[in-house]
Amino acid sequence: MPPYPAHLVERLKLKDGVEVTLRPIRPEDTGIEQAFVRNLSTSRALPLMDSVRELSPRMLAHFTQWTTTAICLIATTGTDGEETQIGVARYVADDDRGVASRDRDRDAGSTKASARG
């Protein structure tokens, strides 16, 4: 795995005063990624995720890795020193054009992950 892209970490303060960190996901984020998926409302989940309430270890490993052609950015808030994931976006470089696009499940043709909040 390439080095962690720390230059992509950004801290923001929303209009309501909530502090949010936007950053690339890390392998040690499996716990907050799993909690995020468990807490998705059915109305906001994508069709692929609608039936998934628990990620398998394989899915967690996939969703918390980055490569030179794919990255997952998460939005987190912190309370008492612990992070809570509140959003996610996954981007993959298109092999033909070299541009970022949403990660697609090539078999099902549906989006695996998208911005959520």
Distance CA 60, CA 31 (A): 9
For residue 112, pLDDT beyond 70: no
1 part of a folded domain: no
Per the structure, the complete domain to which residue 45 belongs is given by: 6-111
Q: Which amino acid is at 5?
A: P
Which of 8, 16, 28 is closest to 77 using CA atoms? 16
For the chain, what is the domain count?
A: 1
CATH of the domain at 101: 3.40.630.30
The pLDDT, as a whole number, for residue 7 is: 93
> What would the pLDDT profile of 13-63 be if each residue is shown by its tens digit?
999 999 999 999 999 999 999 999 888 866 554 555 556 678 899 989 988
pTM, two decimal places: 0.71
State the Cα torsion 83-85-88-93 to the nearest 10°: 30
35: in domain: yes
- What is the structure's pLDDT at 108? 38
More confident residue, 106 or 80: 80
The answer to the question of residue 38 being in a domain is: yes
